[in-house]
Structure 1
């Protein structure tokens, strides 16, 4: 089945949409994972800014850091982000400030997911980023309950028509969690050292109902943000990148 352009949500990341039939499926939930410094927050913010530019209402939910720090970082590539923040098109929700106040334990799934669902519903959001999902704690002795809560949360967002990116820190390459199975797509960012410098790459592990690129693709930071190139990072030297 081929989906129309109206059912696709452009990511705002140059080169990425070419690999996923024009964008993410509207109203679905995706997992973005990778090691620290690989570009997860930058990619997520470009996704939100693209929505704001199209007149949508979007939100960045930070579970640890001050969300304004993420805006400061992306403003180096796209200063217009401040316009969307001030106009209310891009909502910054500092959930970490209240969740971690006076506590040394990670917040529980149930309360966090409920509050985020309320934000999406009341704010009539079309796009949502939760960063990082791995900050939320859940009893490891009851994985079935975690799967059920996350599944219900995803279904609730889909019912609202919200296209969501869940950002997660990469822990183990060969360990897959509930998010990998329950989300509609998984994008993984990598970096490794070449001959003289660090090389970044993007890999699409899963993208339901989408013909997607199956290789590992070179990415880098241009003056406009993260860019995905249509060549392997192992061929980067041959192309002069």
Structure 2
């Protein structure tokens, strides 16, 4: 099938859909990666809000930050998020207390993924975000086992027809994890200093079934959130 004939769903980010042939292929799992503070969670909430606006149900699974604090930050870009949460169009699921409590045995990678799958299936979720999936890596000592369990989880989510973002912290840009290989797409967020100014950029490293280039593209954070431009972030402003 020609890629232009595949049904697409919007990322909710202005300018991003145009870089990936009109949007994401639904029912697939994507990795959003990059260093801390690069905009990964904001990108993910654009995705959830876009679904909510079209009657889809979203699930945000937080493994570190309190989801209420994250929502307050996102509301600066789009206050409608409070209404979607109130009407259960976007569900907040805080797994942090379960993951980090010291009084009980640390849950395994597979048990955390099972909880997420179970809730996604029960609530008939359309769009899922796990933030950050790398928070539960410590519970797996065997890389081969982690790969197998993650592969089963991704297959289960895709079998449910859910489109998902796995958010991963990446401080070593030369280190690739199982998520990079098992997911259908990898979007990397960047920021760095260039000629005494801060540069923000986005890069489509991988997107199965989609024509795209791998060049960095300019990103700005506006009053309405992230905007992507189909041009190099190194181009000087006129």
Tell me if both proteins adopt one fold, taking TM over 0.5 as the criterion: yes
Aligned equivalent of 1:165: 165
Q: Deviations over 1:98-145 (max 9, x none)?
A: 222225986421110000000110010010000001100356652111
- What SS is found at the alignment partner of 2:234? helix
Q: Aligned equivalents of 2:171 and 2:107: distance in 1?
A: 19
Q: Deviations over 1:83-110 (max 9, x none)?
A: 1000000000011122222259864211
- What SS is found at the alignment partner of 1:88? coil
CA RMSD, 1 decimal: 1.7
- Structure 1, unmatched stretches of 5+, are none
- What SS is found at the alignment partner of 1:52? helix
- Structure 2, unmatched stretches of 5+, are none
Aligned length: 238
Q: TM-score, normalised by structure 2?
A: 0.95
Aligned equivalent of 2:204: 204
Contact 2:67-2:94 within 8 A present in 1 as well: yes
Q: Aligned equivalents of 1:152 and 1:145: distance in 2?
A: 11
Q: Aligned equivalents of 2:17 and 2:53: distance in 1?
A: 17
Q: Aligned equivalents of 2:234 and 2:103: distance in 1?
A: 45
Is 2:151 the partner of 1:145? no
Q: 1:159 to 1:108 in 2, by over 3 A?
A: same
Q: Aligned equivalents of 2:26 and 2:202: distance in 1?
A: 22
Q: 1:4 to 1:118 in 2, by over 3 A?
A: farther
Q: 1:119 to 1:108 in 2, by over 3 A?
A: same
- What SS is found at the alignment partner of 1:7? coil
User: Which is worse superposed, 104-113 or 59-68?
Assistant: 104-113
Contact 1:138-1:146 within 8 A present in 2 as well: no
Aligned equivalent of 1:177: 177
